[in-house]
Amino acid sequence: MAVEYDLVVIGGSPAGVYAAAAAAQLKARVALVEPQLSGTLRGAMVPEKSGFRYQHCLNQVGRVAQMLGERAGLGFGINVPGTGDARGMQFADARQWAATVESTLQSRQEPALLASLGVDVIIDRGEFVYHRNMPVFAVSDRRLRASAYLIATGSSPDVPDLEGLLSTGYVTTETLGSLEKLPETLVVMGSDPVGVELGQTLARLGSRVTLVVSSPQIFPKEDPEAGQLIQAQLEAEGIKVLTQTEVTQAKLLENKKWIQAGNKAIEADEIFLAMGQRVGDVACLNLEAVGVKWNSRCIQTNQKLQTTNPRIYACGDIIGGYRFGHLAIYEAGIALKNALFLPIFNVDYLPIPWAIFSSPELARVGLTEAQARRRYGKDVLAVRQYFKTVDAAVIRGETTGFCKLIGRRGGQILGATIVGPAASESIGTIALAMGQKIKLGSLNLDAIVRPTLSEIISQTALEWRRERFNRNTRKQNFLETFFNLRRSWSN
């Protein structure tokens, strides 16, 4: 059976849009299929993706509000939080500014732009079927035949089965834009990073926020020192953090929402779900018909991002990994190369960084210290430096945080964690070094512009060299003998 396309992308998520555009630039014939939603693609209009950008816009407002204080002008045309109606007006202005920025970002993914690149954009629903022993994607009265398919539909929140929650009501990242006024009180359920980010932002805009997590600390997958530092900052800003606490019930009483968290009954104007679990948006694709294994949360893939049908690939939220946009685009790039050429490329997540946009920011690449020690035992050397030693941080008055580098004694970089100002940008330097297999000793102090925040990396690398030297008694003894001899020869 002759194929019509080289690649059919199912889903207009940012990763799907990226894959379609990249394939078209490689002169492949590409179709992108997305259900009709407000006349535009999912990456542009569906709250699943745009909600995250909207939240980042609010985060920026919160940072400026914190930096300038209650009575200073915020910029962005936004008033300062105060009392009574002033606070409500400030939040309304913040929403308007965030919506304006989001609208600008949306315009980059309009169907017309993809069509101009040669992508056949199909706004319709479809499903997989078998035709002449080959998988095809059926859309209305068309059957799209392709050499390969890429599923990039994204995911939706998996609402917990909690007594009273549905009748009480809640918001998620996807429905965040529906908040028309700042809640006086907010309960954030769960330790997903978006919950911490939003809770801190709304607290800075004037809400009283309680964060409830079931784990012993926030961000349980990250370095404990990093999580504890951010938790301390949240509490210093007036946010109540309840750890190791399960929410067992939600109720609506006299127009007020209540949750039962452990042995505490907490009243709130709004509940924000940040549980972290997602459900893949693939139930309507008829995956069983073409032999693709999946469950309610994700599609099963191998290291090449092939599903159990080797002609069908998947990337992003729906394969069950970390929910970061840049990670989904990285996966889309790997899947694209395998789908268009030969399936010989494997995903390697170790040198891919990610960041949590709390304040201070938390960014990580590679292994944590605990993970490295479990894998390599005593052949691990971990060092840290603090932002209070960095000139630029002192000048800016942002000295909270640290950089931790984890490496093997031979210099191989295993991972890094940065907590502090611009951590999300500085971590890229270490990720690049890991990807290029540059050793810790080669992170040169002279290659960093001073004074800048990225100086924390070279200072931490210098600390690693000092620590490595201090543990090398043979080298120390050799150098001591060498200089003793040279001094004696001089005499």
Distance of CA 469 to CAs 174, 380, 410, 462, 475, Å? 51, 14, 12, 11, 8
Question: Are residues 139 and 288 both part of a single domain?
Answer: yes
In this structure, the answer to whether residues 144 and 25 fall within a common structural domain is: yes
Same domain, 138 and 178: no
- At which residue do the structure tokens 């907010």 appear? 186
**Alpha-carbon distance 188 to 391, whole Å?**
36
pLDDT at position 278, please?
73
Say if 347 falls within a structural domain: no
Claim to verify: residue 132 and residue 32 sit in the same structural domain: yes
Give residue 444's Cα distance to chain centre.
Answer: 29
What was the pLDDT predicted at 43?
Answer: 40
What does the angle CA 203 – CA 208 – CA 212 come to, to the nearest 5 degrees? 90
Are 223 and 322 in a shared domain? Answer: no
DSSP 429-441: HHHHHHHTT--GG
List the CATH number of the domain containing 407. 3.30.390.30
Q: Could you tell me if residue 291 is left (phi over 0), alpha (psi between -120 and 50 degrees) or otherwise beta? A: left
> Does residue 428 fall inside a structural domain?
yes
Residue 298: Cβ within 10 Å count: 18
Residue 349 lies in a domain: no
Instruction: Tell whether 44 and 145 lie within a shared domain.
Output: yes
Per the domain annotation, does 485 fall within a domain? no
Tokens of 86: 């002033």
Q: Are residues 28 and 149 in the same domain?
A: yes
Identify the segments of the chain with pLDDT beneath 70. 1-2, 36-89, 105-109, 276-277, 322, 444-447, 491
Cα dist. 368→216, 218, 386, 466 in Å? 17, 16, 17, 21
Asked, for residue 294, whether it belongs to a domain, the answer is yes
The DSSP 8-state label assigned to residue 306 in this structure reads B
Look up residue 163 and give its amino acid. Answer: E
Q: How far is CA 405 from CA 239, 413, 471, in A?
A: 30, 8, 17
Q: What is the dihedral of CA 108, 109, 112, 114, to 10 degrees?
A: 110
Query: How many domains is the chain built from?
Result: 3
Whether the upstream peptide bond of residue 360 has omega within 30° of 0, thus cis, is yes
Same domain as 333, residue 358 = no
3-class DSSP assignment, residue 215: coil
Q: Report the distance separating Cα 316 and Cα 266, nearest Å.
A: 36
The pLDDT value recorded for residue 94 is 76
Closest of 332, 335, 328, 333 to residue 354, by C-alpha: 328
What pLDDT score does 86 carry? 43
Domain of 221 in residue numbering reads as 165-273
Residue 461 shares a structural domain with residue 423:
yes
Domain membership of residue 345 (yes or no) is no
Tell me: do 171 and 263 sit in the same domain.
Answer: yes
The answer to whether residues 151 and 10 belong to one domain is yes
Can you read off the two tokens belonging to residue 465? 């060299």
Residue 482 lies in a domain: no
Nearest C-alpha neighbor of 270 from the set 168, 177, 161, 156: 168
* pLDDT at site 119: 95
**Same domain as 182, residue 132:** no
Answer whether residue 483 is part of any domain.
no
CATH number at residue 257: 3.50.50.60
**CB half-sphere exposure, 336, CA atoms < 13 A:** 25
